[in-house]
Structure 1
Amino acid sequence: MGGRRGRGIEDVVVVGAGAAGLACARDLCARGLRVRVREAGDRVGGRLRTDRVEGCVVDAGFQVFNTAYPQVRGRLPLRELRLRPFTRGFLLCDGDRRTRFADPTKAPRQALSGLVSGLGGPRDIAALAALTGFAALGPAGRVRDVPDVSTRQALSRYGFRDPFVERFFRPFLSGVFLEDGLATSGRFFHLVWRSMARGTLCLPAAGIGAVPDLLASALPPGTVALESPVAQLTDEGIVDGDGRVVPARAVVVATDAHTAARLLPGLAVPPHRTVTTYYHLASRSPLGEPTLVTDVRRRFANSVVLSEVHPGYAPRGYALVATSVLGGDGDGQEKAVRAALAECYGTDTAGWELITTRTVPAALPAMEPPLPLSRRTRVTAGRYVCGDHRATGSLQGALASGARAAREVAADLL
């Protein structure tokens, strides 16, 4: 693919302006290549999308932003996101009883409340401290040195008893993995736990959509073309939505897995996890702190009062509550969730207004063992693919996959 560029021919067309595509484009531009990003939607970001609904800041499904991700630290001026942190730790709801749990290496007094409440025994608390300490301080590469097993098997190897796994890890991790069987790769679990131990979970003041906006702002003006779908790839480049051939020396497909497989026939599509988030507007906050709430009975994956994270997420005098459940929006599900929230928050939810429901059908790739933490992006000569479905289901995975695609494209073109 080397040689001189032709007049009017782009060096690289990147299809998709999600996190992976934006990272790839930025790295290629930094190498002096002429890049064009084509995005079918009306804004950048893909699943990292924020809308305004009835005066509320609503993300496309509940999101968190982790400051410990290496790609995040290397690419984003975090101060510009005006990050607002969640409380360290979370509240575990069991009926009308709530137990506060925190990292025993940072808040031992709060962690010991788990002992007092009967959530875990001394062995479990000690194992949690050892796991968290190793995750925070141990080398990240160590995770690749051991055979990959499911998270459930990994937790057993760490020394946790089954009752603690069921009451602590299973409800909490269901909202992270978007599956509640702990079937997800133990490698990925270790990386997630490491990032939580080393970083802070936050939300940008303007919503998660501020992240791709900031990534896009680092590109040369005119690099991203919105509402510019790609119909197919050809030997010369791409065919746009109007049937025009756009020549390019290389094409990087940085879309979701199903769209990528349509553009690159034969590409394997991994199974995906679906999540639905209900956004309720309440006349007052049911919890006066920005703390994640999980449910032992797994009636919902997690819930949080977003306006406690940042007051600007809701109109003045109101509270915005986001509650996520696994799967789609089934008949009667919102009513059942509302009843569960009334019990867990200890308040009457009958007057809460459901302002919107967001279902994300392919929110995360299923990441069962053995899980490769990264995959080559080169599919055929001049054709590449990147995204979290080619790495790990996280912002870190998407950015890292985009960075890898840029390296492989540059190696072929320069």
Structure 2
Amino acid sequence: MINKEYKIHIVGAGVSGLVAARVLENNGFSPVIIEATDTVGGRVKTDIVNGFQLDHGFQVLLTAYPAAQKYLDFKSLELQRFLPGASIFKNKEQKIIGDPLRDFSLLFSTLFSGIGNFSDKLKILKLNSYLKKKKVASIFTDKEQSTHSYLKNYGFSDKMISEFFKPFFSGIFLESELETSSRMFEFVYKMFGEGDAAIPKAGIQAIPNQLQQNLNNTTFLFNTKVAAIKDGIVTLTNGEKLESHFSIITADASNLISNLKNQATNWKSCDTLYFETENRIIQKKLIGLIPKENTLINNIFYHTSLKTVTKTDKELLSVTIIDSKNLSEEKLVAEVKKELKEYCSIDSCTFIKRYKIPMALPKLTNLQYEMLPSETRLTTQVFLAGDAQLNGSLNAAMISGERAALGVIETISNTIS
């Protein structure tokens, strides 16, 4: 059988599935992607509302991600880059802290911010230098501890942890106690240090859109849901059965494969609220943090501080909430507006839309960076991909998609030989 005659189905048109399709195409196969919604992207999507680009949650691309450098054309994405730092709202004042070695304009504001002590600033430089030299493979083989205990052991003051590290990394890890593995902290910190955080000019969905545009021999079945997968057969919810030599599942496989019922992935959730405002309180291209216990708001960002494809006269503000405390949408919006006024002096904003994201990040232990193609194999003909296989990141989604496709290719070549 020649390669293009193999029936290979990929469940899910997220980043992982699109990369798997690319690898299969590069090796002469013509896969079919089955997607439950009407577009590519999975969790990486953008809507246009009132002329604003609303990403499904506050998401950024770290340009130092090795897999992103391999599979994306950064230039055509027209990446809009953040400054390497944050604006911290404390005692009704805005304090700016950042990496002056990468952007000199942040030097004086960082030195005199009052966030952390002088020793903390030196430790940040030391940590930057240490992680720059440390190989990614070493990060993911080191013993795991919580990020909080890692920072304490490194010697950072409680003040530095509570006023910078906690609010900043809580927004990345989507949990407020920094219980996330130190492996993830070191990896993300290293990526921030070696590249930029950025959003494509057309919004975060430009990433999966570009991956889709680079596919030439892949068939897409949109608005199509899968009910079950067995070796050789993909069953759709409408009862149709598709013959399949190999299947790659990029979504939660426990719902599709009967003997995996007790192995469902646990997920972290978050909410993102978007508001229209007259002006920007944060003038630089920086994320805003509120380092106060028990606030609903974790971070804020003015998306209009970056260039966007759409043009509006007003400013777009996103607010990320890790724990919405089960408030109704009306109550949540009211409380967030109250906090914006109290902590950030933002007193006139119009609510646009809420994104409730129940499956924002997988909850994982024993985080990995890499896996062998053979490790993606679940049964003779079914393979697993998706960031939950490794660690919760866009980079992991790409690597796992690549490895699952290589697992299929390896299996076929072993059969032929």
Superposition deviation, residue 264 in structure 1: 2.1
Q: Distance in 2 between matches of 1:169 and 1:93?
A: 14
Trace 1:113-124 onto structure 2 (pairs within 5 A).
113-124=109-120
Residue 293, structure 1, aligned to residue 295, structure 2? no
Q: Distance in 2 between matches of 1:262 and 1:379?
A: 14
- The 1-side partners of 2:155 and 2:91 are apart by 27
Q: 1:43 aligns with which of 34, 39, 42?
A: 39
Q: Match for residue 9 of structure 2?
A: 13
Equivalent positions of 1:9-408 (< 5 A) are 10-107=6-103, 110-111=106-107, 113-255=109-251, 257=252, 260-267=253-260, 268-298=263-293, 299=295, 300-312=297-309, 315-328=311-324, 330-331=327-328, 332-349=331-348, 352-368=349-365, 370-374=366-370, 376-408=375-407
Distance 2:100 2:363 in 1: 30
Give CA-to-partner distance per residue, 1:389-411, whole Å, 9 cap, x none: 11111110100111111121111
Q: Secondary structure at the match of 2:140?
A: helix
Which stretch has the larger CA shift, 398-407 or 226-235? 226-235
Q: TM-score, normalised by structure 2?
A: 0.91
Give the Cα separation in 1 of the matches to 2:309 and 2:22.
Answer: 31
Relative distance call for 1:20 and 1:318 in structure 2 (3 A) is same
TM-score normalised over the length of structure 1: 0.92
User: Which shifted more, 85-94 or 9-18?
Assistant: 9-18
In the TM superposition, what is the alpha-carbon distance from 1:364 to its structure 2 partner?
0.3
1:363 corresponds to which letter in structure 2? Answer: A
CA 1:209/1:339 → structure 2, altered by over 3 Å: closer, same or farther?
same
* Residue pair 1:15, 1:37 contacting (<8 A) in 2 also: yes
- How far apart are the structure 2 equivalents of 1:237 and 1:185? 38
Cα deviation, residue 228, structure 1 = 2.2
Give the SS at the match of 2:21.
Answer: helix
Alpha-carbon offset, residue 312 of structure 1 = 4.3
Q: CA separation in 2, counterparts of 1:35 and 1:123?
A: 55
Partners of 2:31 and 2:308 lie apart in 1 by 39
- The 3-state SS of whatever aligns with 1:398 is helix
SS at match of 1:252: strand
Q: Counterpart amino acid of 2:381? A: G
Q: Percent identity between the aligned chains?
A: 28
Amino acid at match of 2:25: C
Q: Post-superposition shift, 1:327? A: 3.0
> Structure 1 residues 248, 226: closer, same or farther in 2, change over 3 A?
same
Q: How many Å apart are 1:286 and its aligned residue?
A: 3.0
Relative to structure 1, the CA distance from residue 408 to residue 235 in structure 2 (aligned partners, 3 Å threshold; closer, same or farther) is: closer
Secondary structure of 2:84's counterpart equals: coil
Q: Is the 8 A contact 1:18 1:212 kept in 2?
A: yes
How far apart are residue 295 of structure 1 and its match? 0.7
Q: Structure 2: which amino acid aligns with 1:401?
A: S
Please give the per-residue CA displacement for 1:223-261, whole angstroms capped at 9, x wherever unaligned: 222122222113322122332221111100012x2xx21
| Closer, same or farther: CA 124–220 of 1 in aligned 2, 3 Å | same
Q: What is the rounded CA distance, in whole Å, between the counterparts of 1:345 and 1:312 in structure 2?
A: 28
Change (3 A) 1:403 1:338: same
Structure 1: unaligned runs, 5 residues or longer: none
RMSD value, Cα: 2.1
Q: Deviations over 1:347-378 (max 9, x none)?
A: 323xx21110001001001234x323345321
State the secondary structure of the residue aligned to 1:380: coil
Alignment check: 8 A CA contact 1:374 1:392 kept: no
- Amino acid in the other structure paired with 1:128: I
Whether contact under 8 Å (1:98, 1:344) holds in the other structure is no
Matched residues, number? 403
Distance 2:322 2:332 in 1: 11
1:119 and 1:164 in contact (8 A); partners too: yes
Amino acid at match of 1:338: K
CA–CA distance in 1 between the matches of 2:362 and 2:141?
23
Q: Give, in angstroms, the shift of residue 104 of structure 1.
A: 4.6
Report the Cα offset of residue 221 of structure 1.
4.6
Contact 2:51 2:312 (C-alpha < 8 Å) held by counterparts: no
Whole-angstrom CA distance in 1 between matches of 2:340 and 2:309: 22
2:378 partner SS? strand
CA contact (8 A) 1:285 1:318 kept: no
Of 182-191 and 232-241, deviating more is 232-241
Task: Give unmatched runs, 5+ long, in structure 2.
Answer: none
